[in-house]
Structure 1
């Protein structure tokens, strides 16, 4: 027979009050029911825990040794139950998310701050990686949700939200293209480009756009990170193409941004989870906030 919390509570109450009557009152039990619980605990332990007569109740030596151990066990188990209820109610827990670096550096910090105001006990495990790695982390259940880019062809994912991220051209204010209000693919084909490396979702969009137009880009550099691409553009090595949502686009006063006048220069984005996987309640709450934020961004981009 295993120990249970009711029997442990009964033992502690009798030990603290020195009386079955007072302990029964404290626990809102009848005295016979309390007696059954104590007898059951003694049978489980295999030893008498109380010496009792018509006048008083006292712990046996074994009872005295067990009391602090069972008090600690009760305390620990009660806190486990409290934590479990909090997890189930979504008032605590960890949001495990993999996302594109663009998102991690722009939208995510504000969303984390907002959720912590309503759910102070939430924590975040964030992996900011390229789209292919986002998909891998979700597939392997190393994270619960992923904000990824590019086309999704894996039926193992459930799409919680789908949208697009428009791409823009970024170059120095002194660049020859600075006089143009909108940039065409022909403009991009006529200048050296600093493109993020193969395997990134932005690069896939750019390569497909040039391929569909049967044009060949002049690639000056292929950095992995957008920050590196911006630094190379600042140094005059070429024009880069980045998502309009990228924080790097807005952080360089000597650079300017122009929209690309071509529908091919849009990156599909999707919030995904592994199909059939139940999300923790706190993550469900975060997903709702995130989808609302992405919707507002999309609306602002169309205005």
Structure 2
């Protein structure tokens, strides 16, 4: 059975008005065109839906049974069409993003709030993870976009925006390097015990590469997984930790200070990515534009 929405609307209009003339006027149709639609629907159903003569139009028993069913179907389909139009116009939809924890805890909440103010019907699915997992989630289409860190060597991913995140040394205020006016150098770090985030994180990859390029081996005291753990260990005097300047954890402990590192190697590449060849939902495109503007400002 192939039901046409226009035919269903015609049937409901005639049933509600009790007149082909009034129904045609309501639908802005000629009466012959309306008659064709009703006849087509009756042929599709295989039964007469109206008893009509020169004076009145009445639903047949089949028509009476079919009326509430078709009213519900029409209402459901009109809601589907409205929802589809809203999705296409970017007035609703879900932003599915995978991102680094530093971003999820700093910039992301403000951007979510800003987009919800502009698009009240937007939803968010947020996955915060290390860079390698962010890449995997986007590649597997479990997220539409990702904010990742480190070098990106995956031809299946497209970079929508690239930037850098500078790393800083986080250490107790009473530490000798904290009291010194000039920036921290790699040579300074080489002489200190370090609390470095675990292997596989984008920050650790930058630090390891910087030390390797300088042909120097870091003195690793601890290797926590999470930045907050690294901050707590630095506060306890276990060593200096190295974190992105954008991380909220850098400012989480009043007993600690962040000092710039005077080495170009201590910068983490960051990239906003999507799977190559995939079209983003309009609401996600809006979010991407907001995010790029925020990253440029930072």
Normalised to the residue count of structure 2, the TM-score between the two structures is: 0.98
Deviation at 1:177, TM superposition (A): 1.7
Matches within 5 A, 1:144-159: 144-159=144-159
Aligned residue for 2:64?
A: 64
1:191 has 2:170 as partner: no
Deviation at 1:251, TM superposition (A): 2.1
1:143 has 2:143 as partner: yes
- Deviation sequence 1:162-196 (CA, Å, 0-9, x none): 01000000011122221123111111111111110
Secondary structure of the 1:240 match is strand
1:23 has 2:43 as partner: no
Distance (whole Å) between structure 2 residues aligned to residue 236 and residue 48 of structure 1: 88
Deviation at 1:31, TM superposition (A): 0.5
Aligned residue for 1:245?
A: 246
- Deviation sequence 1:213-271 (CA, Å, 0-9, x none): 11111111111111111111122211100000001112221110000010000000001
- Deviation sequence 1:95-138 (CA, Å, 0-9, x none): 11110000000000001111111111111111100000011111
Aligned residue for 2:112?
A: 112
Distance (whole Å) between structure 2 residues aligned to residue 235 and residue 58 of structure 1: 86
Deviation at 1:53, TM superposition (A): 1.1
Deviation at 1:154, TM superposition (A): 1.2
Distance (whole Å) between structure 2 residues aligned to residue 70 and residue 103 of structure 1: 49
Moved more, 216-225 or 197-206: 216-225
Stretches (4+) displaced over 6 A: none
Secondary structure of the 1:216 match is coil
Deviation at 1:63, TM superposition (A): 0.8
Aligned residue for 1:206?
A: 207
Matches within 5 A, 1:225-264: 225-264=226-265
Deviation at 1:152, TM superposition (A): 0.9
Aligned residue for 1:267?
A: 268
Secondary structure of the 1:54 match is coil
Aligned residue for 1:169?
A: 169
Aligned residue for 1:55?
A: 55
Aligned residue for 2:225?
A: 224
Report how many aligned residue pairs link the two structures.
297
Aligned residue for 1:301?
A: none
Consecutive unaligned residues in structure 1, runs of 5 or more: 298-303
Instruction: Give the superposed CA RMSD.
Output: 0.8
Distance (whole Å) between structure 2 residues aligned to residue 27 and residue 113 of structure 1: 42
Deviation at 1:285, TM superposition (A): 0.7
Secondary structure of the 1:106 match is coil
Secondary structure of the 2:105 match is helix
Consecutive unaligned residues in structure 2, runs of 5 or more: none
- Deviation sequence 1:61-90 (CA, Å, 0-9, x none): 111111111111001100100010110011
Normalised to the residue count of structure 1, the TM-score between the two structures is: 0.96
